[in-house]
């Protein structure tokens, strides 16, 4: 436990001290974010702040993380360093999506192939288990793992639209993973999470509304990659609930990304086309302030995190019931805020029809 605390404090202090210097560097090299019709900020802001997160994380990683005992952690460090560098180049030069994707794939291949990080055994309720480490399933382990890592990396990148949003959500997810790792006796994973958490919080002081700089793709790609890889390393070979926990922990970015894809399909737009229909945009359109929108999404993230922690102690049937309830709540929330479309509200429309029929029955007994 003391290693986790010292690692947390070290990364927090270094990230806190480094952030103002990173801000000056971003301005000097021209890594700035100009406002446009899709963005909420109204003035030019320095980005590349994720470099401060990385510096705090890097120092604490080599001082406290037992990567010699668990070589997968060294793979995650190397992979996250690559995506951080890709993010820095994007913050400076605005790379095309294909080059960003290529960098993510390179980092993912490194952590999966030579360092062996991939999905392991998934124990399904009342249906036996799926062992992705042997047999024909071995061929699926690598592509599924790569799809998950790249998908989560971009999901975290997509929610980086308001001051402190991506950093705060990532901090909540990281803290949740640390707690769950301790509950599952994955102490090395918990240490890694604490190191990462400290670096995020040291930067978040400067990034919360009104932000003094943005983390940019330097930070969002780095955090997304770490969260994706940690979710596999920490929970890859346990009970059925371990298959569910990473999905619940990363509920906000996965929810926002999934319905962004659905929204673009419904509106007959390319999946990769940017828009102003993300969760934070919808909450702003409902009249919430910048700060209130971020705090509401923090609350949703805390709810998902709490559910993930509780799921570690539930039975299989309880897990299934909770997941069904969560899916219904997510879909209802999606309809309320208009995440897909103001017209696409099947659950609300069913409720309204039932309400009308009940009203008619009362008036005509």
Distance separating alpha carbons of residues 39 and 346, to the nearest angstrom:
30
Q: How crowded is the C-beta side of 42, counted as CA atoms within 13 Å?
A: 2
Token pair, residue 324, equals 């069904």
Q: Is 217 annotated as a binding residue?
A: yes
pTM over 0.75: yes
Q: What phi-psi label fits residue 214: left (phi over 0), alpha (psi between -120 and 50 degrees) or beta?
A: beta
| Domain positions in the chain | 2-311
Q: Residue 32 pairs with which residues in a beta bridge? A: 46
Distance separating alpha carbons of residues 78 and 109, to the nearest angstrom:
11
Distance separating alpha carbons of residues 109 and 149, to the nearest angstrom:
10
User: If DSSP codes are grouped into helix, strand and coil, which group holds residue 33?
Assistant: strand
Sites in the chain below the pLDDT cut of 50: 237-241
Report CA-CA distances (Å) from 191 to 6, 70, 164, 188: 9, 12, 24, 5
Q: Is 91 annotated as a binding residue?
A: no
All residues at 6 or more sequence positions from 18 whose CB lies less than 8 Å from its CB, including other chains: 51, 52, 55, 56
**3-state helix, strand and coil shares in percent for the chain, rounded to the nearest 5:** 70, 5, 25
Note the pLDDT of residue 125: 54
pLDDT in tens, 43-55: 788 999 999 999 9
Residue with tokens 């919430």: 288
Residue with tokens 């945009």: 281
């Amino acid at each position: 436990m003391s290693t986790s605390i010292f690692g947390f404090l070290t990364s927090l202090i270094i990230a806190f001290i480094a952030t103002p210097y990173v801000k000056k560097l971003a301005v000097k090299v021209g890594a700035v974010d100009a406002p446009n019709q899709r963005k909420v900020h109204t003035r030019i802001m320095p980005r590349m702040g994720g470099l401060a997160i990385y510096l705090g994380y890097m120092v604490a990683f080599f001082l406290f993380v037992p990567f010699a005992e668990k070589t997968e952690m060294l793979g995650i460090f190397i992979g996250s360093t690559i995506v951080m560098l890709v993010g820095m180049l994007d913050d400076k030069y605005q790379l095309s999506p294909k080059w960003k994707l290529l960098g993510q794939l390179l980092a993912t291949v490194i952590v999966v192939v030579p360092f062996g990080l991939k999905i392991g055994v998934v124990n399904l309720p009342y249906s036996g288990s799926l062992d992705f480490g042997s047999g024909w399933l071995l061929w699926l382990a690598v592509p599924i793992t790569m799809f998950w890592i790249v998908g989560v990396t971009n999901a975290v990148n997509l929610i980086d639209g308001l001051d402190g949003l991506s950093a705060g959500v990532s901090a909540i997810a990281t803290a949740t993973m640390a707690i769950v790792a301790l509950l599952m006796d994955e102490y090395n994973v918990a240490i890694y999470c604490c190191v990462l958490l400290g670096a995020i919080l040291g930067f978040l002081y400067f990034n919360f509304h009104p932000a003094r700089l943005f983390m940019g793709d330097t930070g969002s790609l780095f955090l997304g990659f770490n969260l994706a890889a940690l979710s596999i390393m920490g929970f890859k070979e346990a009970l059925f609930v371990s298959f569910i926990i990473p999905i619940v922990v990363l509920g906000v970015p996965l929810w926002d990304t999934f319905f962004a894809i659905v929204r673009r399909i419904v509106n007959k737009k390319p999946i990769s086309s940017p828009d102003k229909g993300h969760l934070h945009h919808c909450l702003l359109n409902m009249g919430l302030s910048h700060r209130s929108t971020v705090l509401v999404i923090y609350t949703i993230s805390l709810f998902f995190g709490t559910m993930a922690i509780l799921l570690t102690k539930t039975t299989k049937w309880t897990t299934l019931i909770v997941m069904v309830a969560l899916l219904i709540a997510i879909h209802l929330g999606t309809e309320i805020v208009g995440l897909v479309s103001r017209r696409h509200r099947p659950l609300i429309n069913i409720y309204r029809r039932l309400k009308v029929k009940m009203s008619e029955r009362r008036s005509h007994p």
